[in-house]
Amino acid sequence: MKLFARESNSASVLAGDDAAALIMDVVPQIMNYLRDEMRLNRLPSLSVPQFRTLVFLYRHPNASLSQVADYIGLKLPSMSKMVNALVVRKLLIRRASAEDRRCIRLRLSPNGLEGLMQSRHRTETQLARILVALTPEQQAGIREALQILRPLFVRRPESAP
């Protein structure tokens, strides 16, 4: 199963010139940037997972805790804690499901929607400042690459205990 230009016993990841090496190198670097950037957002300062949670609930109102946890990639207790913090901050509304009272239904509060919009705007502005250095063709190439990568990195299945 040969995938890259170099043989697998070469130093490709260490040399940094194939897809695997680039992913290991560039993704953590961008992640650091995003974390720092989000933390500097005033008004509702959101962590990256918190921001992603709000975006998910914007797209999927009335989702359950399990559904959000699965998408974000957190275990239920961690997600419960994070959601609770967002509820306390009045960014989310949490209510019991009518059909199955074990489930909760989550949705953005008006406050949460406004905070999300502000955070999005600021993030987009910041990223735009960086991406402005690129040609439209380069930007299109990046969009295309990310769209290809998006469906590939799904959450690992639970390791059977």
Q: Which residues bind DNA (CB under 7 A)?
A: 47, 49-50, 64-66, 73-78, 80-84, 94, 100-104, 161
Q: Which of DNA, a copy of itself, none lies near 148, with the C-beta cut-off 5 to 8 A by kind?
A: a copy of itself
Among 81, 90, 95, 143, binds a copy of itself (CB under 8 A): 143
Per CB under 8 A, does 160 bind a copy of itself? no
Helix 76-88 × helix 65-72 angle, to 10°? 110
Q: 127: which DSSP letter?
A: H
Binding residues for a copy of itself restricted to 31-70, rule: CB under 8 A: 31-34, 36-37, 48-49, 51-52, 55, 58-59
Q: How far is the CB of 14 from DNA (least distance, A)?
A: 21
- Calpha distance 62→18 (Å, rounded): 42
The sign of the torsion formed by the CA atoms of 79, 85, 88, 89 equals: negative
Q: Are 142 and 132 in contact (CB under 8 A)?
A: no
What torsion, rounded to 10 degrees, do the Cα atoms 147, 34, 138, 8 define? -70
Among 99, 100, 101, 152, binds a copy of itself (CB under 8 A): 152
Among 89, 105, 107, 120, binds a copy of itself (CB under 8 A): 120
